[in-house]
A and B are shown apart, each in its own frame.
Chain A
Amino acid sequence: MKYFGALIISLTAFISCTQPEKKLPILGNREPVEKTVDGKVVVDTVYQTIPSFNFINQDSVQVSDKNFAGKVYVADFFFTSCTSICPIMHRNMLKVYNQYKSNPEVKLLSHSIDSKYDTPSQLKKYADKLGVKGDMWEFVNGPHDAIYGIAEKSYLVSVAADSKDPANFIHQGWFVLVDKDKRLRGAYDGTDPKQVDQLTSDIQTLLDEYHTR
């Protein structure tokens, strides 16, 4: 599996080198499927995609995958009372927000992993204090299992309650880039300003990919 990943990366690196335009790799699991085209059987690849979801945002409005249809978006996992990596992540995410807040093709989606404490009104307070307006950046609350499930299975980010400290959570500070076809196109360490700069420019690369088609 490890080698498979390395093979994919080197293949995409190879392909992207031979193509004039830079293209981001497609991440996650993939499955070959047989299709019949013009009477001939051909093998096509099906990429992992983000399944449908339904959460509630900081304005107590339902937010589903439909709100993200036709958007390039960045997803992450946090909680408002997190004093470790979350402030760093969202200080960095604010840069992405400020860069793309007036671009209707780009959205940000922060999932709270503390569904009990982070009610919509708590999320609203947090968004206000962070200086975030409108619905370009959604902060969502959802049932524990739904959030944890989509984190681990779909965005491939691991989150867990801390067994030693009930008030805390162990989680990774990944920013996951999702394209308009719900496929994973990048994962960046949200605590590293350099990787977040890379994310900012990769969003543009991804948008260009759709514009030149």
Chain B
Amino acid sequence: MKKIVSASVFLLLIFLYACQSDKEIEQQRYFVNGKSIFEQHCQNCHGANGEGLGELYPPLTDTVFMRSNKSKIACIIKNGSNTALMVHNKKYEGKMPAESDLSDIEIAEIVNYITNSFGNKLGDYDVNNAAADLKNCQ
């Protein structure tokens, strides 16, 4: 009996471990794809290191802003943005164009990339998160 219990615990651990690394690999795939979409669609304005450009384009390095707005980023990408934003205590009032052609998965990849780059470490984000966030766009 004892043997069976420890064997199943052992198996469970293996499964957990295997699933964990599957998930990690999946997240890495999001991140890598997100980087290449970022280079094509976002980097001209926000810079290769997310540094932004003067007060024209905000940086993506404000970890507090990114943390508290993580669930809004998908909508910002999909619909653009045209409000006053405070990033690193500076006011930005520019206009970010909408990227309405991007699919949910592409948006998830970009969000995954930018929320885990430029000093941000906000962890997992996948297509289900993106779909949920995009339902709540204003």
- A binding-site residues for B, Cβ under 8 Å: 83-85, 87-88, 90-91, 94, 126, 128-131
Contacts and interface: CB of A to CB of B under 8 A. Distances in A.
B92 to A, nearest CB: 9
24 contacts: A83-B44, A83-B97, A84-B44, A85-B44, A87-B44, A87-B45, A87-B53, A87-B56, A87-B57, A88-B44, A90-B53, A91-B47, A91-B53, A94-B53, A128-B55, A129-B54, A129-B55, A129-B56, A129-B94, A130-B53, A130-B54, A130-B55, A130-B56, A131-B54
Contacts of A84: 44
B81 to A, nearest CB: 13
Contacts of A126: 56
A39 B32 CA distance: 74
Contacts of B57: 87
Which residue, of B54, B94, B97, has the highest number of chain A Cβ atoms within 10 A? B54
Interface string B98-128: 0000000000000000000000000000000
A131 B44 contact: no
Interface of B: 44-45, 47, 53-57, 94, 97
B55 A131 contact: yes
A130 B94 CA distance: 12
A87 B52 CA distance: 9
Nearest to A90: B53
A148 B55 CA distance: 29
Contacts of A88: 44
Contacts of B55: 128-131
A100 to B, nearest CB: 18
B85 to A, nearest CB: 14
Contacts of B45: 83, 87
Contacts of A85: 44
Given A94-B53, A131-B55, 12 more contacts: A83-B45, A83-B97, A87-B44, A87-B53, A87-B56, A87-B57, A94-B54, A129-B54, A129-B55, A130-B55, A130-B56, A131-B54
